[in-house]
Amino acid sequence: MRLLAKVLAAGLVIAATAAGAQPAADYPNRPVRIIVNVTPGGGVDIATRLVAQKLQERLGQPFIVENRAGAAGNAAAEAVYRAPPDGYTLLASFNSTVSISDYLFKTLNYEPLGFEPVSVLTQIPLALVVRPDFPAADARAFIAYAKANPGKLTYASNGVGTAGHLTAEFFMSLTGSKMTHVPYKGTAPVLTDLVAGHVDLTFIQYSAFYELHKAGRVRILATASDKRLDSLPDVPTLGELGLADIISKTWNVISAPPKTPPAVLGKLNGLIDEILKSADVQARFAETHTITEGGSLDYAKKYVLEDRARWSKVIAAAGIQPE
């Protein structure tokens, strides 16, 4: 009887192990939905669709991209957060959704840090961009001008709590300057009003203004990257000007619901990392001045936590209140 009990117990262990391994071995055996929390055509959407296409080619199952942009991206996040944790419903979002959204919104029906980060797809550094006739010729002169003229400069952003807004607040705290915030709804109106000279400056994804900078219709004075960008070799980083703490970028991440099996997360992560390193994908992103990331599951988690640590301090110091 004892021997029979041991045999049965061993069988149960083997069966449980096999059941635990099955989700990854068999995954996916039906279509996978990736819910994007922004409208079609933006950076998050474009990156997600390219990766989804490559996943479909490699795994032989449809990876269906669905845009759900309501409630500042929180509608999509809530839907995925409450989905079954089996890897068949994923979230594609910009960084703040899974790192600092609880600092920006009074009521959320999900916990930002509860998601399982699968992979950071891409990132684009922000840049200090000024109107074409701004009196300061370079970034050092700009900092001096901003400090000497408190409250006179206007800076545009894509909205309260966005990367551009937080970067400007960080810049002011480090330089002792004071500027007036003019929030917009999206990049397009920021671009229009900056070119027209209706606002003085913005901190924004450099890729959105690269061609305008080359044409002399705006001026990129500095980037918030950790090193100079290959496409802007003559433009210094803010770190070179003594503002090394300002490393600011927008990035997008694919996440899974809480408690998704590690084996499924690992399978997705490994495939996405391979896809992002492939030559054709690298070339596609280079066309839009977008930097690929990828990396391990631990790297993705670290990315989220570092983002939260950086911007939660800025939000608290600036007294930004949740909407």
Residue-wise pLDDT tens digits, 260-269: 999 999 999 9
CA contacts within 13 A on the Cβ side of 43: 28
Residue-wise pLDDT tens digits, 31-77: 999 999 988 888 899 999 999 999 999 999 999 999 998 888 899 99
- In terms of Cα–Cα distance, which of 146, 185, 149 is closest to 168? 146
pLDDT of amino acid 312: 93
Amino acid at 162: T
At 139, list the tokens: 């970034």
| Delimiting residues of CATH 3.40.190.150 domain(s) in the chain | 20-124+250-318
pLDDT band, residue 205 (cuts 50/70/90): very high
pLDDT band, residue 319 (cuts 50/70/90): confident
DSSP notation for 45-67: HHHHHHHHHHHHHHHSS-EEEEE
43 versus 27: the higher-pLDDT residue is: 27
Q: How far is CA 286 from CA 130, 144, 220, in A?
A: 24, 34, 19
Residue-wise pLDDT tens digits, 83-124: 999 999 999 999 999 999 999 998 999 999 999 999 999 999
Mean pLDDT of the chain: 91
pLDDT of amino acid 22: 52
pLDDT band, residue 303 (cuts 50/70/90): very high
| Delimiting residues of CATH 3.40.190.10 domain(s) in the chain | 125-241
pLDDT of amino acid 261: 97
Residue-wise pLDDT tens digits, 231-245: 999 999 999 999 988
pLDDT of amino acid 293: 96
Please state, in angstroms and rounded to a whole number, the distance separating the CA atoms of residues 268 and 111: 22
At residue 148's C-alpha, the angle toward residues 209 and 240, to 5°, is 50
Cis upstream peptide for 28 (omega within 30°)? yes
Residue-wise pLDDT tens digits, 117-136: 999 999 999 999 999 999 99
Q: Is residue 160 scored above 80 in pLDDT?
A: yes
pLDDT of amino acid 23: 59
Amino acid at 100: I
Architecture of domain 20-124+250-318: 3-Layer(aba) Sandwich (3.40)
pLDDT of amino acid 223: 97
Architecture of domain 125-241: 3-Layer(aba) Sandwich (3.40)
Which residues sit opposite 203 in a β-bridge?
128
At 306, list the tokens: 């570092």
pLDDT of amino acid 186: 80
DSSP E strand stretches across the chain = 32-36, 63-67, 89-94, 116-130, 154-157, 180-183, 201-205, 219-223, 249-256, 291-292
Q: How far is CA 188 from CA 168, 201, 211, in A?
A: 19, 14, 14
Residues in the chain: 323
